[in-house]
Amino acid sequence: MKPVSLPIFSEVKAAAEKPHGWPVLRLAFRPFYLAGALLAALAVPLWVTMFLGGVQVPMAVPGLLWHAHEMLFGFAVAIILGFLMTAGKTWTGLATPRGPVLGALVLLWLAARLAAFTPFPAWYAVLDVALLPVVAGIFARLLWRAKNHRNLPLALILMLLALANVVFHLASLGWLAVSALLPLHAALGLIIMIECVIAGRVIPAFTMAATPGLRIQMKPVFERATLALTAAGLLLWVFAPASVVGLLVMLAAAGLQGWRLWCWKPMLARRKPILWVLHVAYAWIPAGLLLLGLAQMGWVTESAGVHALAVGATGGLIMGMVTRTARGHTGRTLAVDAPEVLAYALVVLAAILRVLVPVLLPNFYSVALVAASVVLSAAFMIYLWIYLPWLMQTRLDGKDG
């Protein structure tokens, strides 16, 4: 009998990595990064135009609530889901949604965005609340199967985000007697906690990788204290009345977050744009916590702290990560070109215009608002211009993903 030859491991692995399916639906970062960037580029200037009275658009919810909700549950959540479902494959070695299943998730996200422009708030609610529980369940099951307990708290945060979204829609429909802003503030706090966890892993690692011989080793007790105080400060901000206690906790959290960033050696990143954008963006977290603390006493507006966290930290970290991870997962070098550096600078400028100008020069609020929306939109348009073709095509190295 002729012996049967079995393929060696490398041949099996090569067959498994052979590209198949429409490129944009091979990994979640591809469609969700594009969708989130497009929403940011279009929705921010639309909101500012509406706010200043330039156009009236029929909405399922009031304009202010739509703006805040879509920046969190439309834009930020799209990027978070794209990142986590892509990273989940690396963390667990298990397959994540792709092809028709991934396409259905993206279409559900899109349907909710479009439903916001109808006079049917109940339909908007039903479509919008459906996505997060599904993805949280997929992500949690993936981690559980792989016994990846370290990342299970991220699945819990996704579930809490889903709960906050349900509360938002119940409140906006008048079925729950709470302010609809409360779950939106809670969602921002949860997103900041995701950023603190992920940034605490990747920024020091990226900095060490770019600096031969550098060792950054954070003490676990310091890390736990920083995250705990940050969570406590955000919880007090969302659920408790303004108080001196809230101020003190926020100040302590801001101090620890600032020291955490300093320990990551940010000055070593100044000549590497793909790295300094993450350090600069993370600096808005202690700044935002400080501003929210000062707002407890009425010394600054709450909006300053909210937008420091939403535009400066979240917008900046997203821009840094969607460029770096998209380059890596499409087989490109981890070094950005001039247009991407311009996009980084524009996001930083948008945060300065939206946060600092209204605080320091309140008479120029409207001008700053318009300018911030224009430059933020331009940043994400640059991203789409560069990355849309890349994310629609097969990896340069011919691998799947």
For residue 13, what pLDDT is reported? 39
The rounded distance, in Å, linking the Cα atoms of 89 and 103 is 17
Q: Which CATH number fits domain 23-391: 3.40.50.620, 1.20.210.10, 3.40.1160.10, 3.30.70.520?
A: 1.20.210.10
For residue 17, what pLDDT is reported? 61
Please write the tens of the pLDDT for every residue from 72-113.
Answer: 999 999 999 999 999 999 999 999 999 999 999 999 999 999
Burial of 278 (0-12, 13-18, 19+ CB in 10 A): buried
CA atoms within a 13 Å half-sphere pointing along the CA-CB vector of 351: 28
Q: Name the DSSP class of 397.
A: T
Q: Please state the separation of Cα 203 from the chain's center in Å.
A: 15
For residue 144, what pLDDT is reported? 96
Q: Per-residue b/e over 149-164, b at no fewer than 16 CB within 10 Å?
A: eebeebbebbbbbbbb
For residue 81, what pLDDT is reported? 97
| Dmax (CA) of the chain | 90
Listed residue (64, 11, 73) closest to 39, CA to CA? 73
For residue 14, what pLDDT is reported? 37
Global pTM value: 0.94
Which residues fall within 8 angstroms of residue 136, CB to CB, at 6 or more apart?
155, 158, 159, 161, 162
The rounded distance, in Å, linking the Cα atoms of 317 and 59 is 29
Listed residue (45, 77, 50, 75) closest to 61, CA to CA? 50
Decide: 295 and 307 in contact? Cβ < 8 Å.
no
For residue 342, what pLDDT is reported? 98
Torsion of CA 310, 315, 317, 320, to 10 degrees: 180
**Successive 10-residue mean pLDDT values, the chain, 401 residues:** 38 51 93 98 96 88 96 98 95 94 98 96 97 96 94 96 98 96 98 97 95 94 98 98 97 98 96 96 98 96 98 98 96 95 98 96 95 98 98 92 83
For residue 172, give both structure tokens.
Answer: 């906006």
For residue 370, give both structure tokens.
Answer: 């318009």
